[in-house]
Every structure is written in C-alpha cells, then in structure tokens.
C-alpha cells in the first residue's frame, strides 16, 4: 500500500538527530528521501559509544551501527563534495527535482556554500526550504552552535525546572529534545506542502531547538511572563499528594495523576484500605490535603512501601485510580501495550535479517507507515541518483576522478 507522502521528494542535508529524525518520519510515510552527505559521511556514523555502550549490532557476520540506522531508515544516500564546482552543479540539478530541502547544518556553513533560500528558490520556486538552528537566526547567539543538551535542555529552563530543590539538575537522555524539535519541523513542512498545494508557491521555514524547548516547557515560561514563576517541584510537599510519585516494596516507583483528586478520593481511600482517612478533617478534600501535604505524603510513603507495584496496580485498577508505572527502557521494549499498538516494527536487512526499530508515533489507518529499507551506506545510491539526473557512466567516472563523489 502506498504511503501517504508517496511522490514527495525530500533532499535531507542533515546530521546526527534532529533533521534525520524528521526526514526518517517522512520516509516512513512514503516520501522519497535522499540523504546528502559529505564524502566523510554524517558525523553520527562515527559515534563510538552511546551512553558508554558501543552502538554496533553484530549478527550473521555483519555489523550495523544501530544508532545511525534507526534515524536513517527508508532513505537513499548520495555523498557529494559541495565545495567543488562539479559537486555544486550536481546539487543544483537535485534542487530542481526535489520538493523539500532540509538541513541542520550551521546557517553560516550553508551561507558559505551559497545554500540559502534566496539562491535555491531561483532554481526551484516551488521548493520548501526548512532549516533547524540552535538558537534562531537573529540575536546575539544566532551563530552559536547548538545541541539539544545545550540550546534546548539547558537554555530553555527545562533542566533547572525539573530538578528538585537542593539537587543538581539532571542530564537529558540522548537526542530527546532533538526528536521533539523534529516533530515541530515536520508539522511546519506539512503546512508548507499544503500551502503550496493551494498556491503553487514555495516556502522557507525555520525551527530552533531553543524555541521548540521553550514551547515544550511553556507552562513555566508563560507563568514567568505573567510575573508569577512556578517553583521547582518537591515531592515531599506536593500540594496535591494524589498527583505525585511513590516507592513500592520492591524499590520500584509509580506515578499518581489524579488532578481532580476529590472525585477519586473515596476510591483512592478504598484502594489503600484507609477508609479512616476519607472524612478526616485534615485530609478530606483538596484544600485540606494541600494544607497538610507533608504529613499526608509521609503517611502515603509508609503505606505504599508495604506492597509491590503489581499489587498496587491491581488495587488502583479496581478502584479507578489514575496511575502510571515508572518503567525502564528495557521494560518499554517488552511492554505488551506498546507492542499491541505498533510502537515497534522490523526493517529487513539483506545480511542481518529483520531488525527491530521504534516506529514513529503517527499511525495512518488507510495509508499506514512502513519500514522498508535499512539505513544506507555512505553514498550507496550516488550512481543511481546521478543516472536519474541524466549523467552517464562516463560523467560518473570523471566525477570520481575529480574527487566529487566516492
């Protein structure tokens, strides 16, 4: 079955996570995605460790860089020296034939290569030109290099905001805010495609890691704009103890999320077998529990430590309490709920057989996404693409001799 973006041609000049993730999503949705790499390849190909773990999977005498692979499935690759006149000529031919150009290279690098919107729109007026920057294209920090850990996680207020008082701010998980930003870039590109469908006109758009992260934590930032900044969270004095996390007998945790806690209060008291608390004037409603939260949380801590998490889950379900278990990534990978809803798929590999990968989250019913091809080798499809552009084998041989292609 055809993907929902079948016929859309995407030229991705991305590296590491944010743009490759957005382009991978479009590839999953059926777009023809061509990854344009330097002759040395996307820098992510060279990562030796991910959180101290080698990102290499070995099977059937073959190895695959799983970190690079899951972000670059459903793509072809062309490796090109854009600093050479002949390489630039190839690039200009590509731009004429593609709907979307997307990159997260530094804006200054794109300018040096003369790969800016004003130049490319003269070649292809219908082009949708999308870039991701660290901090935006204006202001004092516009030329600063920005990674998701710095421009998004740290600068936006997220890192400090989720630290508990007196504790150091926590590190981000790798690429987390990159993938959040990728979703915003993707939504912008889809809107630009729709606009072009109506008007026939191309579009330039920009997303920054910093701005995407500020929007992600906009509840805090909006409060600050109103002059009422929100305090850091401290679980021991949570105003709503039924919107808090707790430890169980075996040392695992769960999260309660009863925002309208008075509605769930009678059922919650039954779940924890403490009917004596239901009409206790110190805890009987939200205001009372807020006023006496420290005492009440200590009571709950002593209660929840008496049973295992599975035992509490059964009681929560029986009494309609809203909760979520706090899981590890390994547990998510084996979660039957995730499996039932197609969180994971398999990419066929010619040597390694099927490789499990995380699916992108939007699931179209009539035109479902699909995992069709593994990530390409550097420049794996260069000759194929050049032939499509009208080059012949003699031309391709000369380009190799000139160091324009691999």
Check whether residue 206 and residue 288 sit in a common domain.
Answer: no
What is the pLDDT at residue 114?
Answer: 97
Check whether residue 110 and residue 193 sit in a common domain.
Answer: yes
Q: Is the pLDDT of residue 59 over 90?
A: no
Instruction: Please tell me the least confidently modeled range out of 3-7, 49-53, 258-262, 308-312.
Output: 49-53
What is the pLDDT at residue 348?
Answer: 93
Check whether residue 247 and residue 141 sit in a common domain.
Answer: no
Check whether residue 85 and residue 38 sit in a common domain.
Answer: yes
- Of 328, 353, 386, the position where a domain reaches its end is 328
Q: Is the pLDDT of residue 1 over 90?
A: no
Q: Is residue 229 part of a domain?
A: no
Residues forming the active site: 178
Check whether residue 266 and residue 200 sit in a common domain.
Answer: no
What is the pLDDT at residue 34?
Answer: 98
Confidence of residue 375 (pLDDT cuts 50, 70, 90): very high
Average pLDDT (320-345) is: 97
Name the token pair of 263.
Answer: 């509605």
The CATH number given to whatever domain includes residue 295 is 3.30.1540.10
- CA pair distance 86, 95, nearest whole angstrom: 15
Q: Is the pLDDT of residue 403 over 90?
A: yes
Confidence of residue 118 (pLDDT cuts 50, 70, 90): very high
Check whether residue 290 and residue 180 sit in a common domain.
Answer: no
Q: Is the pLDDT of residue 51 over 90?
A: no
Average pLDDT (156-172) is: 94
Contact 367, 30 (CB under 8 A): yes
Tens digit of each residue's pLDDT (9 = 90 or more) over 67-114: 999 999 999 999 999 999 999 999 999 999 999 999 999 999 999 999
Average pLDDT (128-147) is: 95
Check whether residue 169 and residue 262 sit in a common domain.
Answer: no
Check whether residue 347 and residue 324 sit in a common domain.
Answer: no
> What share of the chain in percent tops pLDDT 70?
100
- Of 267, 302, 328, the position where a domain reaches its end is 328
What is the pLDDT at residue 272?
Answer: 98
Confidence of residue 385 (pLDDT cuts 50, 70, 90): very high
Confidence of residue 358 (pLDDT cuts 50, 70, 90): very high
Q: Is the pLDDT of residue 179 over 90?
A: yes
Contact 37, 79 (CB under 8 A): yes
Tens digit of each residue's pLDDT (9 = 90 or more) over 269-316: 999 999 999 999 999 999 999 999 999 999 999 999 999 999 999 999
Q: Is residue 231 part of a domain?
A: no
What is the pLDDT at residue 335?
Answer: 97
Tens digit of each residue's pLDDT (9 = 90 or more) over 218-244: 999 999 999 999 999 999 999 999 999
Number of domains in the chain: 2
Check whether residue 359 and residue 257 sit in a common domain.
Answer: no
What is the pLDDT at residue 124?
Answer: 98
Check whether residue 272 and residue 178 sit in a common domain.
Answer: no
Q: Is residue 406 part of a domain?
A: no
- Of 328, 355, 380, the position where a domain reaches its end is 328
The CATH number given to whatever domain includes residue 28 is 3.40.50.10540
Q: Is the pLDDT of residue 351 over 90?
A: no
Confidence of residue 258 (pLDDT cuts 50, 70, 90): very high
Check whether residue 114 and residue 148 sit in a common domain.
Answer: yes
Average pLDDT (342-364) is: 95
Q: Give the burial string for 151-175 (b: 16+ CB within 10 Å, else e).
A: bbbbbbbbbebbeeeeeeeeebeeb
What is the pLDDT at residue 60?
Answer: 84
What is the pLDDT at residue 365?
Answer: 95
- CA pair distance 361, 364, nearest whole angstrom: 10
Task: Look up the domain containing 75 and give its range.
Answer: 9-218+342-401
Check whether residue 256 and residue 294 sit in a common domain.
Answer: yes
What is the pLDDT at residue 57?
Answer: 85
């Amino acid at each position: 079955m055809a993907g929902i973006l079948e016929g859309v041609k995407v030229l991705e000049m991305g590296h590491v996570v944010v743009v490759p993730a957005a382009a991978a999503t479009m590839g999953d949705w059926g777009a023809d995605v061509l990854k344009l790499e330097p002759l040395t390849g996307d820098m992510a190909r060279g990562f030796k460790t991910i959180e101290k773990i080698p990102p290499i999977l070995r099977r059937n005498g073959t190895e695959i860089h799983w970190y690079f692979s899951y972000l670059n499935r459903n793509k072809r690759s062309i490796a090109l020296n854009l600093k050479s006149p002949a390489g630039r000529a190839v690039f200009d031919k590509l731009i004429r034939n593609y709907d979307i150009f997307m990159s997260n290279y530094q804006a200054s690098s794109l300018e040096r290569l003369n790969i800016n919107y004003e130049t490319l729109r003269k070649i292809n007026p219908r082009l949708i030109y999308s870039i991701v920057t660290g901090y935006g294209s204006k202001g004092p920090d516009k030329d600063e290099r920005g990674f998701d850990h710095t421009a998004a996680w740290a600068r936006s207020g997220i890192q400090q905001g989720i630290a508990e008082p007196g504790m150091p701010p926590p590190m981000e998980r790798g690429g987390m805010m990159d993938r959040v930003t990728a979703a915003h870039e993707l939504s912008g590109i889809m809107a630009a495609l729709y606009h072009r469908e109506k008007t026939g006109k191309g579009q330039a758009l920009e997303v920054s890691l910093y701005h995407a992260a500020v929007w992600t934590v906009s509840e805090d930032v909006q409060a600050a704009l109103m002059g009422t900044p929100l305090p850091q969270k401290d679980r021991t004095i949570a105003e709503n103890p039924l919107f808090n996390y707790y430890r169980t007998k075996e040392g695992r945790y769960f999260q309660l999320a009863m925002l309208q806690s008075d509605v769930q209060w009678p059922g919650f008291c039954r779940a924890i077998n403490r009917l004596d608390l239901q009409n206790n004037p110190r805890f009987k409603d939200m205001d009372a529990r807020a006023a006496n939260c420290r005492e009440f949380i200590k009571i709950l801590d002593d209660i929840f430590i008496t049973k295992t998490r599975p035992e509490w889950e059964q009681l929560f379900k029986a009494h309609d309490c809203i909760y979520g278990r706090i899981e590890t990534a390994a547990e998510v990978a084996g979660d039957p709920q995730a499996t039932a809803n197609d969180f994971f798929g398999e990419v066929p590999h010619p040597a390694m057989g099927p490789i499990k990968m995380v699916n992108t989250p939007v699931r179209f019913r009539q035109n479902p996404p699909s995992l069709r091809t593994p990530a390409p080798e550097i420049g794996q499809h260069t000759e194929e693409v050049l032939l499509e552009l009208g080059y012949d084998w003699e031309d391709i041989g000369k380009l190799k001799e000139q160091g324009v292609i691999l």
